């Protein structure tokens, strides 16, 4: 009887296996940047849409009240140290947050501070906002923490920090007050302007924007870290760790959740003048490559290049300087 022929099966050699692995690695290396780029493009689009939503809310507010929201308002009259809420609280009604705004304590029932919401101050608002996250407040590309006031008894889960800030004007405006020489760590440092549209203590009307709404910035992006002189990263958003509700008080020089434009787009140096904790000039900057988004007074959103001429940036930040706007 004839025996069956045994067929020897040949497997991959080590060299062939290494070649296959190398080819796969090359393909992954080629495809990964494209995948990452596509993801960042989607995140950047969402960031842009966030600002468009904010713009619609601001214009609905203006239509209902007859003026733009202030960057922040105090919760009591002149001569009092009473922190009121910032602009994002004012527009919540128009961001599908009617119930939240309705429950918010604007009158200081148990505390005169309606924007200062941690232990010892307005804990009612702190409890209301504790752990709450609203997608329109946060750029999805941002690596910074979504929550401020973490570690407090109230709000136990922190209050959201926003990655967009009101622009109160530019540091070259005639309204600018110079606090560069300040050494008090509990007071403003830098230059504060009220030459913009969203400014503290009062709301402006459309007619006040004499430079035209299509060339005046309302809100700018702050979605990345700044860098200290030793290379370490630091959160340099204008809420200064206090969350989106924190605004202003009459007897305090600090403005929260707003900035005066002083430095070029995408400045990230924490040693720049006025860029510090309680700094008045924390920059418009982003986690996107090459620039940052801004919302203009006509509701459009523009991506400003980090190479934008600084004077043009100033002109865009002021509402009434009458300077012709260069390309942007």
For residue 2, pLDDT over 70 is answered with no
For residue 291, pLDDT over 70 is answered with yes
For residue 214, pLDDT over 60 is answered with yes
The mean predicted confidence, pLDDT, of the chain is 93
pLDDT band at 6 (very low <50, low <70, confident <90, very high): low
How much of the chain, in percent, has pLDDT values that exceed 70? 95
For residue 102, CA distances in Å to 33, 105, 157, 213 come to 46, 8, 21, 30
Q: Across residues 67-76, what is the average pLDDT?
A: 96
Q: Domain residue spans in the chain?
A: 37-317
0.85 cut: is pTM over it?
Answer: yes
> From the CB of residue 310, how many other CB atoms can be counted at a distance below 10 Å?
14
Burial (0-12, 13-18, 19+ Cβ within 10 Å), 84:
buried
* Dist. CA 66–CA 33, nearest whole Å: 48
Q: Across residues 239-268, what is the average pLDDT?
A: 97
Q: For residue range 190-202, what is the model confidence (pLDDT) as tens digits? A: 999 999 999 999 9
For residue 12, pLDDT over 70 is answered with no
Q: Where are the alpha helices (DSSP H) in the chain?
A: 14-65, 87-90, 98-103, 123-129, 310-317
**Peptide bond preceding 51: is omega within 30 degrees of 0, i.e. cis?**
no
Q: Across residues 7-36, what is the average pLDDT?
A: 75
For residue 151, pLDDT over 70 is answered with yes
**pLDDT confidence of residue 34:** 66
pLDDT band at 179 (very low <50, low <70, confident <90, very high): very high
For residue 144, pLDDT over 80 is answered with yes
* Dist. CA 196–CA 168, nearest whole Å: 4
pLDDT band at 304 (very low <50, low <70, confident <90, very high): very high
User: How many CA atoms lie less than 13 Å away from 116 in the CB half-sphere?
Assistant: 17
- Could you give the angle at the alpha carbon of 125 between the alpha carbons of 240 and 203, nearest 5°? 65
User: How many CA atoms lie less than 13 Å away from 309 in the CB half-sphere?
Assistant: 9
* Dist. CA 306–CA 269, nearest whole Å: 14
Q: For residue range 45-55, what is the model confidence (pLDDT) as tens digits? A: 999 999 999 99
């Amino acid at each position: 009887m004839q025996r069956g022929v045994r067929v020897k099966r040949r497997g991959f050699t080590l060299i062939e296996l290494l070649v296959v692995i190398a080819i796969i690695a090359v393909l992954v290396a080629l495809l990964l940047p494209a995948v990452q780029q596509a993801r960042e493009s989607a995140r950047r689009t969402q960031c842009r849409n966030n600002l468009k939503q904010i713009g619609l809310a601001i214009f609905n507010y203006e239509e209902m009240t007859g003026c733009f929201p202030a960057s922040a308002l105090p919760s009591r009259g002149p001569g009092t140290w009473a922190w009121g809420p910032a602009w994002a609280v004012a527009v919540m009604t128009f961001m599908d947050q009617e119930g939240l705004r309705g429950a918010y304590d604007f009158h200081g029932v148990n505390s005169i501070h309606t924007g200062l919401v941690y232990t010892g101050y307005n804990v009612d608002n702190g409890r209301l906002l504790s752990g709450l996250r609203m997608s329109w407040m946060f750029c999805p590309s941002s690596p910074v923490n979504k929550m401020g006031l973490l570690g407090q008894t109230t709000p136990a889960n922190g209050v959201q920090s926003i990655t967009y800030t009101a622009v109160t004007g530019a540091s070259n405006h005639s309204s600018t007050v110079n606090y560069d020489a300040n050494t008090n760590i509990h007071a403003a440092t830098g230059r504060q302007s009220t030459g913009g549209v969203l400014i503290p203590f009062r709301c402006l009307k459309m007619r006040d924007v004499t430079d035209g709404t299509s060339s005046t910035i309302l809100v700018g992006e702050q979605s990345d870290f700044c860098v200290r002189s030793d290379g370490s990263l630091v959160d340099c958003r204008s809420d200064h760790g206090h969350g989106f509700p924190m605004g202003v008080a009459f007897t305090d020089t600090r403005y929260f959740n707003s900035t005066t434009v002083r430095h070029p787009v995408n400045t990230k140096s924490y040693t720049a003048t006025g860029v510090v904790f309680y700094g008045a000039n924390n920059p418009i900057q982003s986690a996107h490559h090459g620039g940052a988004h801004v919302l203009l007074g006509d509701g459009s959103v523009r991506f400003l290049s980090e190479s934008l001429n600084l004077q043009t940036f100033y002109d865009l930040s002021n509402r009434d300087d009458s300077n012709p706007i260069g390309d942007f």
